[in-house]
């Protein structure tokens, strides 16, 4: 295989269906490739029956898609995926490789970094090309989210990073966009795995995943009581949203971990994010600052959350929350009549 330096992203599929995080990665990769000496943007897609997904990747910004398609690859296994991708990366030698900070990306890229003796920065919230050195500048929170560190890999390739899902909007699909789909032969000797899948259980504790919600009603320590926090579930249900929580609220036992937003939880990018009693620590802001509209309610006028909010309300939540719920109930009654 010929060598092809440039920017690569790792696509993801679930049961043969392309995962939306692949489109987000292409948005990151496209901006880097355009700044990286007019480099191409390539995507690797591993799975079974992924040809249709490859077309969609081109429509969302990829110039080339390398497909590794085999029935044994339908279910993700770290050791077999790593063996195949290691060989592919050694053959093509890309300068940059990006993956999502999903279960797959967080388990697969560390293995590849170790095998390729390359650097890896995990959970990035920002990526850009240094205009002078042309190195990848990888920004991520450090020291518990209190500082933002910028890291570069000067001497080893590929420069590898994972980025948090929902940290960037996908590019709009362009059905007229042309690209190349390359079917890569799968070496059967690399498919052996020490892992056997025995089943899969869906987490049904919160309905739709918080990452997919267009409205998130989030609460933090400022709500003060579990009973007050539970009001958010009624509000979210009436408004067609889902409940989010700060780390403090989850630590208090007011909400399950699946609802946690922030560096140590989920990243969300809804149309509207309502933050109630959330001070706005860097840890939390990193997980929701890409929301289209942020509405913050807090009793502290100096709370950091107001620095990123589009609408800020200084109010006592013990009074604000019941009044808001009453208003919602009233409006629902008016619609019903």
Give 168-225 as a DSSP string: SPPPPP-TT---EEEEPPP-GGG---S----------SSSS-GGG-SEEEEE-GGG-S
CB neighbours of residue 130 within 10 Å: 12
Q: Does residue 127 contact residue 136 with C-beta atoms inside 8 Å?
A: yes
- pLDDT confidence of residue 313: 93
* pLDDT tens digits, one per residue of 261-304: 987 788 888 889 999 999 988 888 878 887 889 999 999 999 99
Alpha helix (H) residue ranges in the chain: 21-35, 51-59, 78-92, 103-116, 226-239, 247-251, 282-288, 317-336
* pLDDT tens digits, one per residue of 32-52: 888 766 678 899 999 888 877
Predicted TM-score of the model (pTM): 0.69
The answer, yes or no, to whether residue 76 has pLDDT greater than 60, is: yes
The answer, yes or no, to whether residue 143 has pLDDT greater than 70, is: no
C-alpha 220/C-alpha 276 separation (Å) is: 6
Q: Residue 294 is encoded by which pair of tokens? A: 């942020």
- Give the residue carrying structure tokens 């504790």: 205
* pLDDT tens digits, one per residue of 294-330: 999 999 999 999 998 999 999 999 999 999 998 888 8
Sign of the Cα pseudo-torsion (165, 151, 304, 255, in order): positive
- pLDDT confidence of residue 215: 92
DSSP 108: H
Alpha carbon 160 to its chain's center:
16
C-alpha 101/C-alpha 276 separation (Å) is: 27
* pLDDT tens digits, one per residue of 166-200: 777 788 888 888 888 988 888 888 888 788 888 77
Sorted by where each starts, the structural domains of the chain and their CATH numbers stand as 7-190 (3.40.50.620), 210-336 (3.40.50.1220)
DSSP 261: B
Mean pLDDT of the chain: 85
Q: Does residue 285 contact residue 308 with C-beta atoms inside 8 Å?
A: yes
């Amino acid at each position: 295989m010929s060598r092809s330096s440039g920017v690569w992203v790792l696509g993801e599929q679930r049961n043969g269906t392309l995962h939306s995080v692949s489109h987000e990665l292409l948005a990151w990769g496209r901006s880097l490739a355009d700044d990286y000496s007019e480099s191409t943007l390539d995507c690797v897609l591993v799975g079974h029956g992924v040809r249709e997904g490859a077309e969609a990747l081109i429509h969302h910004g990829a110039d080339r898609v390398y497909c590794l398609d085999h029935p044994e690859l339908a279910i993700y296994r770290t050791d077999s995926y790593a063996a195949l991708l290691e060989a592919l990366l050694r053959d093509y030698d890309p300068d940059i490789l990006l993956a999502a900070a999903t279960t797959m990306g967080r388990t697969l890229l560390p293995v590849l970094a170790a095998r390729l003796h390359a650097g890896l920065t995990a959970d990035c919230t920002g990526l850009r090309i240094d205009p002078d050195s042309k190195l990848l500048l990888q920004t991520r929170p450090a020291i518990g989210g209190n500082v933002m560190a910028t890291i570069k890999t000067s001497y080893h390739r590929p420069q590898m990073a994972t980025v948090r899902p929902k940290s960037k909007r996908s590019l709009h699909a362009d059905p007229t966009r042309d690209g190349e789909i390359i079917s890569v032969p799968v070496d059967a000797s690399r498919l052996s795995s020490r892992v056997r899948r025995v089943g899969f259980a869906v987490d049904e504790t919160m309905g739709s995943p918080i990452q997919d919600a267009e409205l998130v009603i989030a609460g933090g320590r400022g709500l003060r009581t579990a009973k007050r926090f539970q009001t958010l579930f009624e509000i979210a249900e009436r408004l067609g949203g889902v409940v989010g929580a700060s780390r403090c609220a989850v630590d208090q036992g007011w909400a399950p971990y699946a609802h946690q937003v922030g560096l140590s939880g989920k990243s969300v990018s809804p149309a509207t994010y309502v933050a109630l009693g959330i001070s706005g620590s860097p840890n939390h802001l990193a997980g929701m600052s890409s929301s289209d509209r942020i509405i913050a309610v807090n009793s502290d006028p100096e709370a950091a959350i107001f620095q990123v909010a589009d609408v800020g309300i200084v109010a006592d939540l013990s009074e604000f929350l019941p009044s808001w719920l009453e208003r919602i109930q009233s409006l629902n009654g008016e619609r019903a009549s």
